């Protein structure tokens, strides 16, 4: 899609490797500013988005640290939608006392200040646009973080800025990717411009690609998928192992350790030490940024596969990409080491979830 056909502008904060970027771009958004601090995530981001959004890499709008004192938020290009999968941090309780900003020192504070700079800028100069929609993402537990105070405070801050707020926990497994990943999505819209009372969240996608709006129906209607849909076939896997001179099968030592810990955990009654899946499993557990360490959260069984060791293997980074819905079989590429790639996909959003939300934002709020 050419930039001049874009329907709205967005900024991509805590951009990681660009899950939001793909989703917004696919829905007609044009990225005007991105920010990511991690050297390796920046590498993946630039590698993949240089063609899609060349300008931000040429005009200094691929920021490194959003807390950088030299970055004047007034100079961030105008935008319509703000995207941010921001790290979750507690706010200071001292903030409850009058006149003290309890979000200060957290990364949410920076989101708020960016939005505020635009709203205040607009008061002085009407040509500066007010951000219409904010799309924030966080872990499921965010809602109960610090006894619910963090979430409550964020809602208050957004409300004070002039936004209506709606939030729901969505699961990737209802959006066509075989992963049990629950994340909270917060959608906020500027009430004086977007005259909408409620945002109808998409709860999943059915076999025909239609959006499921009824939460109760999502298990029954969501697209039927299994772990087999993201796995490389045996020939592909072996060809990659051969090419890269490595194996994804875990070592005997690691396997022994996983099994030993499973027994210990079972004796203590606190669940499993590792989780394994095969192609018929409906979904895997959540891939996390720690996946590179020992892969214990998602191991792929190889028991009855001819010519393969009798131990499980880790996901190939390409499979991790598919598990997060990245277009790795068409244009998206991984320019970093396996360990960095696991970390990046584990930290990321599931692209089909965000693409679906982005489409609803476009239809309902823009």
Ligand X SMILES: C[S@@+](CC[C@H](N)C(=O)[O-])C[C@H]1O[C@@H](n2cnc3c(N)ncnc32)[C@H](O)[C@@H]1O
Q: Which residue, 221 or 319, has its beta carbon nearer to ligand X?
A: 319
Q: Which of residues 344-363 bind ligand X (CB under 6 A)?
A: 347-349
Q: Which residue, 85 or 204, has its beta carbon nearer to ligand X?
A: 85
Q: Which residue, 14 or 185, has its beta carbon nearer to ligand X?
A: 14
Q: Does 66 bind ligand X (CB under 6 A)?
A: yes
Q: Which of residues 92-121 bind ligand X (CB under 6 A)?
A: 107
Task: Return the closest-CA partner of residue 68 out of 34, 26, 100, 110.
Answer: 110
Q: Does 164 bind ligand X (CB under 6 A)?
A: no
Q: Which residue, 69 or 235, has its beta carbon nearer to ligand X?
A: 69
Q: Does 38 bind ligand X (CB under 6 A)?
A: yes
Phi, psi of 34, deg, nearest 5: -140, 155
| Terminal alpha carbon distance of the chain | 19
Q: Does 19 bind ligand X (CB under 6 A)?
A: yes
Any catalytic annotation for residue 83?
A: no
Site for ligand X (CB under 6 A): how many residues?
21
Q: In the bound complex, what is the minimum distance in angstroms from residue 158's beta carbon to ligand X?
A: 19
Given 35, 103, 172, 179, the residue binding ligand X (CB under 6 A): 35
Q: Which of residues 221-250 bind ligand X (CB under 6 A)?
A: none
Q: Which residues contact 275 (CB under 8 A, 6 or more apart)?
A: 284, 285, 296, 297, 298, 299
Q: Does 87 bind ligand X (CB under 6 A)?
A: yes
Q: Does 37 bind ligand X (CB under 6 A)?
A: yes
Window contacting ligand X (CB under 6 A); options: 47-55, 65-73, 112-120, 148-156: 65-73
Selecting among 37, 52, 71, 88, the annotated active-site residue is: 88
Given 33, 36, 131, 353, the residue binding ligand X (CB under 6 A): 36
Q: In the bound complex, what is the minimum distance in angstroms from residue 117's beta carbon to ligand X?
A: 16
Given 8, 10, 14, 203, the residue binding ligand X (CB under 6 A): 14
Query: Taking CB under 6 A as the rule, which mask of x and - marks residues 126-145 in contact with ligand X?
Result: --------------------
Task: Return the closest-CA partner of residue 157 out of 70, 76, 86.
Answer: 86
Ramachandran area for residue 273 (φ above 0: left; ψ -120 to 50: alpha; else beta):
alpha
Q: In the bound complex, what is the minimum distance in angstroms from residue 220's beta carbon to ligand X?
A: 29
| Residues in contact with ligand X by the rule CB under 6 A | 14-20, 35-38, 41, 65-67, 85, 87, 107, 347-349
Q: Which residues are catalytic?
A: 88
């Amino acid at each position: 899609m050419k930039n001049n056909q874009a329907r709205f502008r967005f900024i991509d904060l805590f951009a990681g490797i660009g899950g939001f970027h793909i989703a917004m771009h696919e829905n007609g958004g044009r990225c005007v500013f991105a920010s990511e601090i991690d050297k390796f995530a920046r590498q993946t981001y630039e590698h993949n988005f240089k063609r899609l959004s060349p300008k931000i890499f040429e005009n200094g709008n691929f920021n490194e640290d959003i807390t950088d004192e030299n970055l004047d938020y007034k100079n961030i290009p105008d935008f319509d939608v703000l995207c941010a999968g921001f790290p979750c941090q507690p706010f200071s309780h001292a903030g409850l006392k009058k006149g003290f900003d309890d979000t200060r020192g957290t990364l949410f504070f920076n989101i708020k200040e960016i939005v505020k700079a635009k709203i205040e800028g607009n008061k002085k100069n009407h040509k500066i646009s007010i951000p219409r929609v904010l799309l924030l993402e966080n872990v499921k537990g965010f809602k109960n973080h610090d006894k619910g105070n963090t979430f409550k405070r964020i809602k208050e801050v957004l409300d004070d800025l002039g936004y209506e707020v709606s939030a729901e926990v969505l699961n990737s497994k209802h959006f066509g990717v075989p992963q049990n990943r629950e994340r909270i999505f917060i959608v906020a819209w500027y009430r004086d411009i977007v005259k909408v009372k409620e945002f109808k969240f998409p709860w999943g996608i059915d076999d025909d690609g239609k959006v499921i709006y009824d939460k109760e129906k999502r298990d029954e209607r969501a697209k039927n998928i299994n772990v087999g849909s993201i796995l490389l076939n045996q020939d592909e896997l072996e060809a990659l192992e051969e090419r890269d001179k490595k194996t994804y099968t875990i070592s005997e030592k690691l396997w022994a350790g996983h099994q030993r810990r499973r027994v210990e955990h079972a004796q203590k009654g606190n669940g499993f030490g590792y989780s394994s899946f095969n192609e018929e499993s409906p979904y895997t557990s959540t891939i996390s940024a720690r996946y590179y360490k020992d892969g214990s959260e998602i191991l792929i069984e190889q028991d009855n596969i001819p010519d393969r060791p009798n131990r499980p293997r880790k996901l190939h980074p390409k499979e991790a990409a598919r598990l997060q819905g990245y277009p790795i079989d068409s244009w998206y590429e991984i320019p970093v080491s396996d360990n960095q790639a696991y970390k990046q996909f584990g930290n990321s959003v599931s692209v089909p979830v965000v693409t679906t939300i982005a489409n609803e934002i476009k239809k309902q709020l823009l």
